[in-house]
Structure 1
């Protein structure tokens, strides 16, 4: 395991088994890249936290345990102040406890096993490293990473190569999350700069068109005045000046032809400039709509992230009985929520959140595995019906709307099947609004004619 860019504690001195040394493919000539030596007394049991490579402790504790949980556990084994110690000091002390072993490491290991017992049972079915990596890849796709990471790192068949791969993918995932946010900001700044440049270009073209139009009008006025003067002069000429009059008329005709050509040229240029102006205005309108859509999407995603973070923190306070804050999902207490569609991983997380807040959460997959006939039977008696528009078929969605209209039930579409979209919707639906869902106004929807 490569050494991270900083150390949080001293490296523990354990011995690594010969099989893991052979599989690690690390040259003995590079001591800086050598893993900490670890020896497992029994290869058929799960590894303890203190027996893992000390470089893994930082990622395990930082990924699988929240700061609130560490702040309750670490001060019992260290001299840190629970109220005034920083998050980094709490994290650093937890990593030191894991490396040193003893009661603190045992308490951390027990807390992790209790939190992720279901994932440990699921990973226990793996009989080799390929099965472990397959389960790990499924966890990465579903986003349920902390339980899978702890179950994999302590699995009896987890070789050094498997742990290195999981550690590297988790490390790069943190970079990808930060890079995605930075890419959205850069794209928004680029769109705004391009929009400003297009506006400036349009203003310059409008000024140029106005100047050309004024120049054209001035030229026409001057020529008209000159023709009038020459015509008046010609009418005053005597018959003896007939030759001069003919010459003057020819000059006037030539100037008139030249003026017509110049007018035609300016007219063509003006029409070309107007067409280009219309194209630039259309492009600017498209860019403006794209920017507005991007800003709206960014605001919506930020709102979902903020709601999810508040719900997670408030739920942790409520579960541990701190009593200092109310959970953000208290609005669903005592309510029956029917969720149609979605993905199994996110549906399970939503069920845990709603049931932890005191609500009843009923899931119907829209007809993938559950029969569609059960959907109409599950909706009566629901306080609120929710479905993600990106993870439900049109037939189930239309039937759901008809049944909700028939029973006068309120239904709410979600932008995505993510936990964040559901939590943001629950934050917008205040208890007063949810109380009105039981007695909605009669609908004008006709089940036969629409």
Structure 2
């Protein structure tokens, strides 16, 4: 262990009686400056007191764990020092001597330390051995809470000599680090003070310049105001009538300007309202145009279905006299699978196809027929037909997938009516395709009837 870089005051400076000096066992040498090499000691049953610690530890404990203000109030009670005139070093020396003497002064110092650091003492009492004690000390070093931990470690019942030596060494090195940091802070402080002085001088010069510019500006403004006043007075003296007329004309122009602004605002609001109505009417017209186009397309489709149904009816009537039914020639000898639809229409379609020489296989899409039969019925078909308004999506997706796999033509119908089916069969016949393309326009007018 290293001795302090200064020599403490001798115990003889204390005002102790002969009995007290004999009882405390003061040595002629300064205990704080004399290193001790005591053999390792077993763990004590209680915490150590300040006077029971090795004398060379008193300096570090008092200097670290107690402030000079606290010592200045306590040390003069047991010594002849003046509370106000004594230096901080004298206060520290006498406090170390009181701790070494072990009398009432040492008890007062011990009590003051215990009261200040009661929480740390309770926390460190949980340490069961010196290993846990050192662990708590290391945690205190990391957190920077050194004074409470140092007093708790030095007086702990498991504080052995190696433990106290480690704590003392850590504190000793920490004091070197603090000193180095303080020196660096002092250098930075000096540099900052120089920079601060330079900045203050620069600010003072700038403020002086700004003050001069402000004075010049105020003088210029005052001169301009005076010149304006002179010109106004001169104009009033020379042209009094014209000034009154100009004022009246200015007032009239202002009123007309206000009226024009009101009219502009009114016309602007009307224009915006008209633009909004035009936009709404354009949107409505676009909607009506789309509906009109859709109605025309639907009308054309319904007209073609009616034409096809009419030709089929005429052909069916001529068949009774042995005429040839050209409207359903496209189904002759073919196998057609019809998925979905309505029972009444499906029965009529089946009769029409069979009378035309074809075969119509009807599957209701899973209402009564099992859906598993649909995939088995499609591979042998020539044409697959399904009405989009009377078939479920699952069956429609299944027949599309199977038809694409087996390369079978499939055709959707607009409705499940007989007219839609007949129109599709007519479109599939080449001769009827030409007839439909060259058919004359209907005489019915959508606008006049």
Structure 1 and Structure 2 fold alike (TM over 0.5):
no
Q: Which has the larger radius of gyration?
A: 2
Task: Identify the TM-score tier after normalising by the shorter chain.
Answer: 0.3 to 0.5
* TM-score, length basis structure 2: 0.41
